[in-house]
Structure 1
Amino acid sequence: MRGRTECRLLGPFEVRVDGALVPVRGRQRIALAALALSAGRVLPIDTLIDRVWEDEPPRQARASLQTLVTRLRRLLGADLIETSGPGYRLRTQVCTTDLIRFRELVSRAREVAAQGDGYAELDLLREAIGLWAGEPLSDLPSVRLQADAAGIVEEGFRALERRLDIDLAAGRHREVLGELRSMVSRYPLRETLWERLMLALHRAGRRADALAAYEEAAKVIRGQLGLDPGRRMTVLREAILQDGTAAAYEPAPADAAEATPVPAGAWTPRQLPPDIAGFVGRAADLAVLDELVDETIDARVVTAAVDGPAGIGKTALVVHWAHRVSGHFPDGQLYVNLHGYGTEKPVETAGALDFMLRSLGVPAARIPPDLDARSALLRSELAGRRLLVILDNARDSEQVRPLLPGSGSLALITGRRQLRSLAVREGARRITLGLLDDMDAVALLHRVLGAERVRHDPAAAVEVVDLCARLPLALRVVAEYAARRLDEPLAEVAADLRAQRSRLDALSADDGVSTDLRAVFSWSYNALSDSAARMFRLLGLSPGTEFSACAAAALAGLGVRPASQLLDELTAVHLLANPTPGRYEFHDLLGEYARERAELQESDGDREAAENRLLDWYLRTAVNARAKLTTYRFIEKPSPPAGPDPVPDFAGYDDATAWFEGQWRTILSLIDRIASAGPDSGRTRQTVLLSLAIWDFLWLTGYRHDLPRLYERALAAAREIGAGMLEGLCLTFLAVVYRWIGQLERALRAGADAVDLFIRLGSVEYEAFALVRMANGLAAIGENDLACAALERVLLLSRADVDLTVRGDAQNHLAIAEMRRGKFDAAIAHGQLAVETFRQLGDRVRMTAALDTYAEALESSGQPELSWPSYREALALTREIHTIPWQALVLYHYGRSLRVAGEVDRAVTAWREAYDLFLWVGDPTADTVRDLLAELDRQP
């Protein structure tokens, strides 16, 4: 066989010729792997014999080895392996390895880092790390060969940790949390990974979780090594306890090259979930997927849909394969769970597009509200790029069709239904997963239970496989259950399962799977304490599959500590997963089972009471979090809870934003569920208040596609229960929403209606609040005189106990309107008052905007030098609250002011930083800044 040969060592050993997988078996496989590990160097014959046969070499070992080499040459080409003096050498001229490629990429990364090109370093490291598909040579039965490969793992860690340090320095703390949590689970004794996880959690505003990570690491290290954590981890823990002192903390570098400054951008999405531990089988399906990679080379889009029943392993297959081929997609991997089936509401296509566009660096301001426009923008962003797009758990073809790329990328979809329409119209390749065959099903038990236990009672292993109908999810649950009972014969496990099956019918008949998952789940469920079983049932009432310990405590009406103990009991029997400290999640099938148990065993009154406790908890927590985002007073605070109070406190803006980031979809699902249950004045009022409480987060962060529906429904609910103040607030927010989506007439009408309503109610404060929003609508249609009149009215009302935040907003917008009218002195005066107001309130978000407006007013009036202190202060604030788009905008304005004053070098410095930030967030203003810099370069 001739052609370009590649040996893959960074994971299970593979041999490919011209891209096609070539089966190499037995001792030939071990010999070739040993030669590939030393590719280009002579491997002595005695060493090679030792690797192939270890302690049991044949009598004529050299002759046997020569026969192996001859067969390899016949299979892969006579010029592949060269006889050289005392041994053999794999010729790198005709055979390459992923290890050689990895080392070349890391070496180049060091070189460009030394030259100060951090962006190129980051891209090279990502490409290098993308070559890894698991533990080197993990599937070869040669202990000594795997020992030879152990040093390669350290090389991989150094590259990974350098890349993580770049991400941490660039402020991508939240993006790396999932990856770090997965890594410390796989390598719990590597303190450098724990150190980076603690740092990422702290910088993401999750100080308590960072300290919990230290305790978790210390427990593992003491339990396995009998040692305390090292000095660096201890120092970091102390820095986190002192809060702010950890901001400047730097993790231990992997090598000397890592003193190179890291860039503040250059992000490529790497969103694959962790690979599936102990993945077995599916060789034919993996081979079909392998064929898809080559089809993307000619720049056409390739789409494949993997369908099959619940629990069959669709996601496991796709994620495992995606990790194997990630290096073929240098522009990244997007992953979206569409929640087509399960307890969560299916993801709206518009919301999925919003997430995907943000992941590609498109700023919120550039994402249009229209579904078709978003879909077109996604295709434009993906044009000319090679990405792997995974759309997991799709409901139907219509949900995913607008999410497909236009060219050059691979879209991989999973779903329980056969997506026939997608195959007909888009030419999608359909792959239907069946049950595991007997050999692979037993191999799965082998992986989880250990070889000895399965070999000891093979008949019982086969019976367990039959009773689970070879369904991977059922097999894993049963195997993990049995693994915790080492003294119990496998035959007893099979007998217990056999006895359970007769009591329950199939979980989902339309899946076409003849297996009894209820029996499998009930096996773990029936072993729970009464309190844990009740907790499990009530968790099924949660609108999402992920929740915190505090939310679970609220559902059950318990304190956080006893609730956490019950959650730990559920985690121990694999009815829950605990991916990060304090966070828990269901598999969607377990969520369905929990809800089913709640409907069977909890009364209507108990279920409603639990939902009410959860609604109340989310409302009170959202109000607490909102208070860290804005100084606008809330219309009313919820009443204190009747039972334990598990509502968390928030350390500040970052902490509150992080909570909303993880919970806003669940909040909207909860509002949907309760609204669909029918009118109830108490619950309806709570849902309206919750809708209002989440406004600031959704608006500031740009999650705006749900806003029209959310607040139109809230408005109808407020009118239904006769809550005038809430009705006025909903109208006020709708005025902003309608202006954003371009419906200016509706925006003006909503703003005017809100003003009239608050006047009738006699609320001066909220009349002023609505007037500011109405003025914004007037300004949007160029009516600056009318806008100024409305804002002047707000300032007149301020003499009658108007909220300071409303007054500050009015002053800031008056400054902008007066600038547009050319009245610079008035603009400066109002801008200065706005700054003073927000400084007094300590509202950093609005003070940033006010400082930028004030500085721009000074600059526009011909006083650029006077604007610089305000620009610099605004810039410092944007860095404190991590608002990169605002930071870029302030730098852009600051650079313009410096250039006007003749400070060209300083203007270039500001614009270069602004350009990097605009480029990172995908803002087209980057082109404007680039042109300005080019213009300055051309000047003598």
Structure 2
Amino acid sequence: MEFQVLGDVAASHQGNPVELGRRQERCLLGLLLLEPGRVLLTDRLIELLWQAADAAERRATLHTYVARLRRRLAPYGVRIVTRGGGYLIDVDPATVDLHRFTAEVERTRTIAEPALRAQALAAALDLWRGPLLAGVADETMRQRLGRDLEERRLAAFERRVEAELAAGEHLRVVGLLADLVREFPTREHGIELFMLALSRAGRRTEALEVYRTARRTLVEEFGVEPGQDLQRLHQRILADDPDLTLPTPGSTPAAPRHLPRDVPGFVGRVAELVALDDALDDGGPSRGVATICTIGGIGGLGKTALAVHWAHRVASRYPDGQVLVNLRGHGTDAPTRPIDALGQLLRGLSVPPGRIPVDVDEASALYRSTLADRRVLVVLDNAASSEQVRPLLPASAHCLTVITSRNRLDGLVAHEGARSLRPGLLSDDEAYQLVVTMIGADRAATAGRDQIVRLAALCGNLPLALRVAAARVVVDERLTVPELLRELTNARERLSGLVVEGDAAVRGVFAVSYHALSAASARVFRLLGLVPNTALSTAAVAVLAGQPEGQLRDHIADLVDRHLLDDAGTGRYQMHDLLRLYGAERAEAEDSEPDRRRAVGRLADAYVQQGVAAQAVFHRVRATVPMRFEHPLAQPPGFDSIDAASEWFQVEGGNLLALVRICDGLGLARETWQLADCQYPFLVRTHALPTLRETQELGVTAARLDGRPDAERLMANGLGVGYALGRDFDQAIQWMKHAAQANAEHSSPRDEVVSQMSIGNAYGQKGDWAEAEEQLRLAIAGARRLDDTFMLCVCLSNLGWLYTEQGRAQESLALLEEALRIAVEHDIRQQIPPLEVHLAHQNANLSRYAATVRHARAAVAHRHLGDRLSTARGLYWLGVGLDGLGGTAEAIGYWRESLELMTEIGSGDAEYPVAALARAGHHPQGGPL
């Protein structure tokens, strides 16, 4: 299927147009197609579609539009997915004309022949059938969404004309340029091209008149003179400069060509190349300042490859030469001195050695003078610092300087106006293409895309590691990708596996950066290798190191500056996977085992104390057990709301899970079960079943090893709940009975209530209603004796659900309404969504569809509390209620959303919306049966 957003929004399948519906629905589709595969938040979509409209009033309408688009597109395999509070469209960007235009323009940069390049650019420009989202968006929306698109189109048009001129087609483009200058009378590059085309066509007088008109417009309307490039061309035309005619073979003066060959198999980096192009277009002669671009990042990221590849692409714009010097800022040798680098550069620019001063300031002045009237591209590779680079910077606005470094060169940004680019890791698609390019399409097809993407993940999508891994497959024809995968899966041996012909490329690159650290920074780096590879706060790093935050900030900044640690924003830091493995290697070699265990224990204790404080704002279904800490925090944390606690768990969830695994691997039993316990309530609320089961199972074993039967009871019951939520009721009952027997002689009355309720729920879900009712009635009686309103609310709700399943409508309603009253009166907010779901369910059973809709909407309205299962169930019952009231079309949309959410969280209840959709005559994936 193909989509068009350049012009009116349209779609076609195998050449036949597809009906897309009303204007607003087509506009919504266009908005999603602008960023395929990326979530657009509901509030953002509502703001764009209705501008000042109240978001709350438009959500249902937006949902209806999405449902209609899904119905229209589903037969063609196109999905609109609900995710993360918004929607995304799952299509290949290559099927959208806008993204195809961008890719085609980018591809033309690799076409050396001007005539072929011009043809390819003309074909890309033909994709523009009109303004962005014409017919569905107003000018205000187009300005907000595509402010740069018109500029990209014009830039592509000018590049096409440049190619035509280079191919000698000046007569053909004169008319095109006349139209361009008429529409954009102050666009200086277009004016320059028009003047050049007229001059080459023998229309010198007209070319000079174009300049006079343009200058008058610029002066009268904006009070500025034309730029230097335009003025220089004017002077050359006045002087009948013979160089303005088409170049002939051998007429170009000799110029240095020092760039190494382009990287074979260079793939991806489209965004980075566009950013570099933008920096080049924004600077230079038009602004009267020299363009400087820095490319920074971790060793092995491909900074030099990117710089060289881009330099080859833009080299034609610098006819007076391209020079390169390796500044050796990171290696076993000392960095190149500025005076030595200047000597290399000046000799490359044909300055006789005898004329090169020995004083760095004098040599730098001669270097700037030599470049004053030249168009030269300078590549400064592997820089150590801003101070090393400054004497090597040309002053001419006609020169371009590209600098690579493992260190941040913020000084050049602040004082020299450099553009800073920090490339990320390769995407999965880019990594796949890199491996395919190296090992060949046949071996890649044998391995399969999934295997290659897994290999990329083990290499951390780091270009150097990927090239080494792929090279091993190329060198050893007997080595297959699956075999290499098995070898690299062992984290302890992974760096040793990334070696070719004895060259420990990846480890060696890391070692150079590591050995340049101070002792204190190196210790922080090693300790970070021991802990989760998710974003850690400054406070967490300080706890890990056992030092005050104030002392750690300089060491963290040192690691960030050297790109050994990534600044993830908001005061959090993250380390690349392979760097973390290298850090762990160094820690094992340089730090004692007790020191490593103490560091991890400190961090685990800090997280447990924060987790306990966060879960304290939730009402706990299960009992608490005493915890102990070897490293208590000086100031215990506190959370003043469920929202704040939920946010903490969401941010730190990855660290909590990773720490459970790490502590289990280190034999830190106390820390393992305490970490498992402190995150239990949040995992249940968010229905994170795989994480819930894994942490509780590790917690059971750890509690037993720690000699804590009370904690073992807690962990076993939590594991049973995890299985029950996943509808594995036999396993659930087994673990819940295990919990009831553990620490039986020391259990509290509340422990007994929790066990009875949990076992009763599991029996009820299994279908053993008699046993379930007996256990739940015992739990309710116990909760009333204890005057525990929270437990009473939960137990009443569960028995009400059981009666609903049995068809005992009136008894169920009485219990559920009592439970809801208790939840509201005692502000037990997390129980309100499931109770509203139960009441919607029971009212649906009684065919009270208006009440069903009311309770279901109330459940969905509480989705901000994070109970995704109740939200998914509420959406299902909302559909049931609307269907009962005759609104089947709207119900289908809610059933689809329910199914998506249930599938996402792994709920066994997904069978219900599937069945409802089937009854309504619709496939679960969309479209009629």
Q: TM-score scaled by structure 1?
A: 0.50
Counterpart in the other structure of 2:808: 823
Counterpart in the other structure of 2:757: 772
SS of equivalent residue, structure 1 residue 584 = strand
Question: For residues 899-918 of structure 1, what are the structure 2 equivalents within 5 Å?
Answer: 900=884, 903-904=885-886, 909=890, 912-913=893-894, 915-916=896-897, 918=899
User: How far did 1:620 drift?
Assistant: 1.6
Question: For residues 173-322 of structure 1, what are the structure 2 equivalents within 5 Å?
Answer: 275-276=423-424, 289=437, 303=448
AA matched with 1:584: Y
Alpha-carbon separation, structure 2, partners of 1:775 and 1:646: 41
SS of equivalent residue, structure 1 residue 816 = helix
Alpha-carbon separation, structure 1, partners of 2:517 and 2:270: 42
Alpha-carbon separation, structure 2, partners of 1:649 and 1:572: 33
Going from structure 1 to structure 2, the CA distance change for 1:278 and 1:743 (only over 3 Å counts) comes to closer
Going from structure 1 to structure 2, the CA distance change for 1:523 and 1:294 (only over 3 Å counts) comes to closer
User: How far did 1:691 drift?
Assistant: 1.5
AA matched with 1:611: V
Going from structure 1 to structure 2, the CA distance change for 1:43 and 1:705 (only over 3 Å counts) comes to same
What do residues 434-483 of structure 1 show as CA deviations (whole Å, max 9, x unaligned)? xxxxxxxxxxxxxxxxxxxxxxxxxxxxxxxxxxxxxxxxxxxxxxxxxx
8 Å contact kept, 2:697–2:719: yes
Alpha-carbon separation, structure 2, partners of 1:840 and 1:559: 45
Going from structure 1 to structure 2, the CA distance change for 1:559 and 1:339 (only over 3 Å counts) comes to farther
Counterpart in the other structure of 2:834: 849
User: How far did 1:854 drift?
Assistant: 2.4
User: How far did 1:827 drift?
Assistant: 0.4
Counterpart in the other structure of 2:274: 134
Going from structure 1 to structure 2, the CA distance change for 1:619 and 1:800 (only over 3 Å counts) comes to same
SS of equivalent residue, structure 2 residue 458 = coil
Residue 659 (structure 2) pairs with residue 670 (structure 1): yes
Alpha-carbon separation, structure 1, partners of 2:649 and 2:475: 37
AA matched with 1:671: V
SS of equivalent residue, structure 2 residue 536 = strand
Counterpart in the other structure of 1:897: 881
Question: For residues 405-484 of structure 1, what are the structure 2 equivalents within 5 Å?
Answer: 418=472
User: How far did 1:714 drift?
Assistant: 2.6
2:767 is aligned, of 778, 782, 797, to 782
2:587 is aligned, of 587, 593, 598, to 598
SS of equivalent residue, structure 2 residue 568 = strand
Counterpart in the other structure of 1:621: 610
Going from structure 1 to structure 2, the CA distance change for 1:50 and 1:915 (only over 3 Å counts) comes to same
What do residues 237-293 of structure 1 show as CA deviations (whole Å, max 9, x unaligned)? xxxxxxxxxxxxxxxxxxxxxxxxxxxxxxxxxxxx9954999xx999869649999
AA matched with 1:613: R
User: How far did 1:832 drift?
Assistant: 1.4
Counterpart in the other structure of 1:571: 560
Alpha-carbon separation, structure 1, partners of 2:852 and 2:544: 53
AA matched with 2:546: G
What do residues 623-671 of structure 1 show as CA deviations (whole Å, max 9, x unaligned)? 2333455544652354467565477655644554454445444434433
What do residues 905-930 of structure 1 show as CA deviations (whole Å, max 9, x unaligned)? 5x765654554564577667666565
Going from structure 1 to structure 2, the CA distance change for 1:809 and 1:425 (only over 3 Å counts) comes to farther
User: How far did 1:837 drift?
Assistant: 3.2
Alpha-carbon separation, structure 2, partners of 1:881 and 1:303: 42
Counterpart in the other structure of 1:718: 703
Alpha-carbon separation, structure 2, partners of 1:818 and 1:67: 91
What do residues 697-723 of structure 1 show as CA deviations (whole Å, max 9, x unaligned)? 344444433555543343233233332
Alpha-carbon separation, structure 2, partners of 1:803 and 1:926: 36
1:881 is aligned, of 853, 858, 865, to 865
Alpha-carbon separation, structure 2, partners of 1:515 and 1:752: 54
AA matched with 1:539: L
Going from structure 1 to structure 2, the CA distance change for 1:60 and 1:535 (only over 3 Å counts) comes to same
Counterpart in the other structure of 2:735: 750
8 Å contact kept, 1:811–1:831: yes
8 Å contact kept, 1:815–1:830: yes
Going from structure 1 to structure 2, the CA distance change for 1:802 and 1:278 (only over 3 Å counts) comes to closer
AA matched with 1:887: T
Going from structure 1 to structure 2, the CA distance change for 1:788 and 1:557 (only over 3 Å counts) comes to same
SS of equivalent residue, structure 1 residue 705 = helix
Residue 528 (structure 2) pairs with residue 539 (structure 1): yes
What do residues 10-48 of structure 1 show as CA deviations (whole Å, max 9, x unaligned)? 5896555xxx96433799889996545679970259732
8 Å contact kept, 1:831–1:853: yes
Counterpart in the other structure of 2:378: none
- Over aligned residues, Cα RMSD in angstroms? 5.7
Question: For residues 479-628 of structure 1, what are the structure 2 equivalents within 5 Å?
Answer: 510-512=499-501, 514=503, 531-544=520-533, 546-628=535-617
Question: For residues 695-734 of structure 1, what are the structure 2 equivalents within 5 Å?
Answer: 695-705=680-690, 707-734=692-719
AA matched with 2:865: I
AA matched with 1:897: G
AA matched with 1:626: Q
AA matched with 1:853: H
Counterpart in the other structure of 2:112: 23
User: How far did 1:848 drift?
Assistant: 0.2
Residue 759 (structure 2) pairs with residue 792 (structure 1): no
Unaligned stretches of 5+ residues in structure 1: 70-128, 148-218, 227-272, 308-334, 343-390, 396-411, 432-505, 936-940
Larger radius of gyration: 2
8 Å contact kept, 2:473–2:481: no
User: How far did 1:543 drift?
Assistant: 3.9
Alpha-carbon separation, structure 2, partners of 1:575 and 1:652: 37
User: Percent identity at matched positions?
Assistant: 20
Counterpart in the other structure of 1:84: none
Going from structure 1 to structure 2, the CA distance change for 1:413 and 1:863 (only over 3 Å counts) comes to farther
User: How far did 1:588 drift?
Assistant: 3.5
8 Å contact kept, 2:687–2:867: no
Alpha-carbon separation, structure 2, partners of 1:426 and 1:508: 14
User: How far did 1:849 drift?
Assistant: 0.4
User: How far did 1:790 drift?
Assistant: 0.6
Counterpart in the other structure of 1:483: none
Q: TM-score scaled by structure 2?
A: 0.50
Alpha-carbon separation, structure 1, partners of 2:802 and 2:464: 48
SS of equivalent residue, structure 1 residue 514 = coil
Going from structure 1 to structure 2, the CA distance change for 1:649 and 1:573 (only over 3 Å counts) comes to farther
